[in-house]
Amino acid sequence: MNILEAKQLTKTYTLDHQHIHVLRDVSLSIAHGEFVVIAGSSGSGKTTLLTLLSGLDQPSSGHVTIDGNEITGATEDELAPLRNRMIGFVFQSFHLVPSMTAKENIMFPAEIMGQADAEQAALQLLKRVGLESRADNMPSQLSGGEKQRVSLCRAMINHPKLLFADEPTGNLDSENGAMVLSQLVELKSEQGATLILVTHNPDIAKAADRVLRLEDGRLVESEKSKVTHQDA
């Protein structure tokens, strides 16, 4: 069984009595453990698709199923336990809580789940990404690359089955971006998670198992990235 399926997703907004179609009839399936990139130019609907697949927003029509659970039309109260148990998020702008230390930011999702070893798990993840010395630093004391690595640790602490990343290297220089992407893929593989990543960066797309390309809100291409490059 696929971990995620979407059928005929459409998202339409109304602005000044005009209907704006952001996504049009998008259907896809993603297998357990895949690394899938959603690519396309600015305004193609990449981030909108990610928010619909993750349940952060609801489609105008169509359906999304995560691990056999239909999430379309679910309330926030119904979605929250599923997200805490199964889903991790990494955003371009980090979204760290400024009043919490790096360690506390990472621990937070695990504490919500009642994990007794949340602190130990957070420290292990910080060590894994080379930031053990930054455990007690506040976000304001961290560089952009360090903030994103803390965000990555927070996303992985509950061992999510699904990891959603929206331009996770977009605010970073090339060196820090490459480091974050490498650690993201390594942690995803170590934990056996499925990674769905939005990017306009062709170098990141090359690292994926499969690339889904959007154009004007439509899925125009699905290609196996690694197989293509191995055959070349």
CATH of the domain at 114: 3.40.50.300
Across 145-155, average pLDDT: 94
**Closest C-alpha among 41, 44, 38 to residue 23:** 44
- Say whether pLDDT at 97 is over 90: yes
Q: 188 in a domain, yes or no?
A: yes
- Grade residue 225 by pLDDT with cuts at 50, 70 and 90: low
Q: 15 in a domain, yes or no?
A: yes
Across 157-171, average pLDDT: 92
Measured between alpha carbons, how far is 108 from 97 in angstroms, rounded to an integer?
Answer: 10
pLDDT above 70 covers a percentage of the chain that reads 97
Range of the domain at 219: 4-227
Measured between alpha carbons, how far is 209 from 224 in angstroms, rounded to an integer?
Answer: 6
Q: What is the pLDDT of residue 210?
A: 93
Q: 107 in a domain, yes or no?
A: yes
Structural domain tally of the chain? 1
Across 78-94, average pLDDT: 88
CB 39 within 8 A of CB 200: yes
Q: Which tokens sit at 77?
A: 């109260």
Q: 174 in a domain, yes or no?
A: yes
Q: What angle do CA 186, 188, 191 make, to 5 degrees?
A: 105
Measured between alpha carbons, how far is 125 from 228 in angstroms, rounded to an integer?
Answer: 33
**Alpha carbon separation from 50 to 54, 137, 198 (Å, rounded):** 6, 31, 7
> Mind listing the pLDDT tens digit for each residue in 13-72?
888 888 888 999 999 999 999 999 999 888 889 999 999 999 999 999 999 999 998 999
- Say whether pLDDT at 94 is over 60: yes
Across 117-130, average pLDDT: 95
Q: What is the pLDDT of residue 232?
A: 32
- Say whether pLDDT at 137 is over 80: yes
Q: 119 in a domain, yes or no?
A: yes
Q: 63 in a domain, yes or no?
A: yes
Q: What is the pLDDT of residue 203?
A: 83
**Alpha carbon separation from 7 to 3, 25, 84 (Å, rounded):** 14, 8, 24
Q: What is the pLDDT of residue 146?
A: 95
> Mind listing the pLDDT tens digit for each residue in 172-191?
888 989 999 999 999 999 99
Q: What is the pTM of this model?
A: 0.89
Measured between alpha carbons, how far is 63 from 81 in angstroms, rounded to an integer?
Answer: 19
Q: 87 in a domain, yes or no?
A: yes
- Say whether pLDDT at 227 is over 70: no
Q: 232 in a domain, yes or no?
A: no
